[in-house]
Chain A
Amino acid sequence: MNFLERTLASFLNALEHALRAEDLAKADGLLQRLDPRIKVIGILALIIAAATAHKLWVIGAVFAIALSLAASSRISVLLLGERVWFPVLLFTGIIALPAPFVIPGRVVWRLPGLGWPLTAQGLLSAGYLVTRVETAATLSVLLILTTPWTHVLKALRVLRVPVVIVVILGMAYRYIFLLLESAREMLESRRSRMVGELKGSERRRLAAASVGVLMSKTLQLSSDVYSAMLARGFRGEVYMLDDFHTAALDWMMLAVFAALAAVAFYCGR
């Protein structure tokens, strides 16, 4: 697969991810029903609890909580496996692999033939890394898959993120898809005119030129968007409508999240 195809594949992958997230966010599940502000705070608390824990079983327990949240929100284990667990294991697993041999400590086993010592502390530290990363990644993916992006953004206001940043995040997200589409068309049309292989230097020139064209288009786009905003009466101030309403379920779940995180903090010390 050449770089054009690979780039196209990663564009498609991003689009597919976004579409799937939109679908799942509409499903009828526990997390989908929650107020986004409470979801953001609750899941963040669990991620921090998993990050702070000094005991493996506490991280495992937070992972189990994440699994039950997924099950009650109609997120399949298969999807989590494909989107989160496998890629994370591939990346972090490779990084953690030498740890049992490198970290000094009590030797529990020696690699036959080579005689490399395997230490208990090394195994434990590899365990910490992998479980912690898997747990945090699962939780953040749950938040993403069950919440439309615009709601995540509005919920950021409770974390005191400035309005102008929230607005820019929202607009940037919208234009990502426009630019992805524009880049995809550009690369597709180039690919359709290609017979045979390009030389290395030509490939690099093509990639740089594609990014350059995209950049010029983007700068042009920004003035178009600005003119359109001015035409609609934009004067530099940004406002947001906070139209969330909390129900009894939200407060109950906030209490549950708080209790779970507190127990995890306490036990994980």
Chain B
Amino acid sequence: MCKALAAPQPALAKFQKANMHIPDGYLSPSTCAVLYGASAPFWYTALQRVKKALATRLVPLLSVMAALSFVIMMFNLPLPGGTTGHAVGVGIATIILGPWASILAISIALAIQAVFFGDGGITTLGANCFNMAIVGSLVAYAVYRLAAGRAALTSSRRVAAAALAGYAAINASAFCAAVEFGIQPLFFKDPSGAPLYAPYPLSIAIPAMMMGHLTFAGLAELLLSAGVVAYFQRTNPALLKVTAPGNLAAEEEIAASPSMWRTVRPLWIGLALLLVLTPLGILAAGTAWGEWSARDFSNLQAREKMTLASKNTAPPGQPPRGLERLSRLWTAPFPQYAPSFVRRPAVGYALSAMFGSGAIILVSLIAGSLATRGKTGVRG
């Protein structure tokens, strides 16, 4: 009887669990390489920061926490309506360990799952770690800190913040995975036009992924984060200190060379803003006032736009002579800023990716500044 029940279990368990772990074959090797590359600096930074905070405790603490993340991923969580779902545990791991240790613990658990248990691919391990461990932990941290504010360790606001953090983290991860799936058919097709990897475009991949995560998987993560925080509030609130500002534990966790950070912070902010704003500038409709070309003066439509933009003052009939002379002198390599290739969807998506990375950098910056504010609050 027991055996008969157990037989379909691996297949079923795999089916339930695999929705977030991208297996080999769904992403092109170049996407995988890019995502390994994108994860590497986060792993490096996380390792340096955690090493500094934990010193010789690093090896045992990370080992057992990674083992725990692995076991948590196997839990079937009861959801409303009688179904069950799996959670990654990234929300609760971030709240208890802080974002950097959580990045490492979840990445190690994912590596063991991929290499030993065949859940999630080996070539896609970088992608899985990027989506779940890195984006998940950073989003969970930012949301938790923003939502929890300076509430007391045992306040119910922290439970709500944990719920939000878990929910936001898993959905951000799913969104990253959906974008990775969705750009595959755009870039990788065989000569007949058949997609080589994940076949669906963004317009299908995003809703398909998000539907499951905004509901079931998101709910599982939400219930786990909130439930465990509520449990610790009753039994051992000290465990929640790491991500709560105004205490020593939090200070140790985030004590990575602040002087260096202060020097490079403006650069990062600038880069993030540039990344976010550049595509917006290109995608925005219309031309900026004064950025007209000599040709626009003889074009009826362009003249109308110029009149409108200049508070109904009609432009001169002839282009200014200086402008005409200069425009003959120098032709930009990309006339009109947006040559035909920019109008192709592929570039549009690349720009969206730029926008996305800018947004992620901004989120981590906000998280970082929140952390610093918490620290100065203690000293001051």
What is A's interface to B at a CB cutoff of 8 Å? 1-3, 6-7, 9-14, 17-18, 21, 44, 47-48, 50-52, 54-55, 82-84, 86-88, 90-92, 96, 99, 102-103, 105, 120-122, 124-126, 128-129, 132-133, 135-137, 140-141, 144, 149, 152, 162, 164-165, 167-169, 171-176, 178-180, 183, 200, 203-205, 207-216, 218-219, 221-223, 225-226, 229-230, 234-236, 238
Whether the Cβ atoms of A87 and B14 lie closer than 8 Å is: yes
Whether the Cβ atoms of A172 and B63 lie closer than 8 Å is: yes
Whether the Cβ atoms of A125 and B10 lie closer than 8 Å is: no
Selecting from B69-77, B262-270, B299-307, B355-363, the interface stretch reads B69-77
What is B's interface to A at a CB cutoff of 8 Å? 5-6, 9-11, 13-15, 18, 23-26, 28-29, 32, 47, 55-68, 70-72, 74-78, 80, 82, 84, 89, 92, 96, 108-109, 111-112, 114-118, 121-123, 185, 190, 192-200, 204, 223-224, 226-228, 230-232, 235-236, 239
Task: Give every chain B residue within 8 A of A173 (Cβ-Cβ).
Answer: 67, 112, 116
Could you list 11 A-B pairs, sorted by A, with CB under 8 Å? Answer: A10-B13, A47-B123, A50-B24, A125-B194, A129-B26, A152-B115, A171-B64, A176-B67, A211-B92, A212-B227, A219-B239
Question: Looking at A172, A216, A225, which has the most chain B CB atoms within 10 Å of its CB?
Answer: A172
- Knowing A9-B6, A50-B25, A176-B71 are in contact, say whether A91-B15 is a contact too (CB < 8 A): yes
Q: When the two chains form the complex, which single residue of A48, A92, A180 contacts B29, counting CB atoms closer than 8 Å?
A: A48
Task: Give every chain A residue within 8 A of B196 (Cβ-Cβ).
Answer: 54, 125, 128
* Chain B, Cβ-Cβ closest to A1: B5
Q: When the two chains form the complex, which single residue of B56, B118, B121 contacts A236, counting CB atoms closer than 8 Å?
A: B56
* Chain A, Cβ-Cβ closest to B14: A87
Q: When the two chains form the complex, which single residue of A11, A169, A212 contacts B74, counting CB atoms closer than 8 Å?
A: A11
Whether the Cβ atoms of A208 and B108 lie closer than 8 Å is: no
Whether the Cβ atoms of A211 and B228 lie closer than 8 Å is: yes
| A144 to B119 Cα, complex, angstroms | 12
| A11 to B117 Cα, complex, angstroms | 12
Task: Give every chain B residue within 8 A of A7 (Cβ-Cβ).
Answer: 74-76
Whether the Cβ atoms of A179 and B68 lie closer than 8 Å is: yes
Whether the Cβ atoms of B228 and A51 lie closer than 8 Å is: no
Q: When the two chains form the complex, which single residue of A3, A82, A175, A235 contacts B77, counting CB atoms closer than 8 Å?
A: A3
Task: Give every chain A residue within 8 A of B25 (Cβ-Cβ).
Answer: 50-51, 92, 129, 132-133, 135-137
| A55 to B196 Cα, complex, angstroms | 9
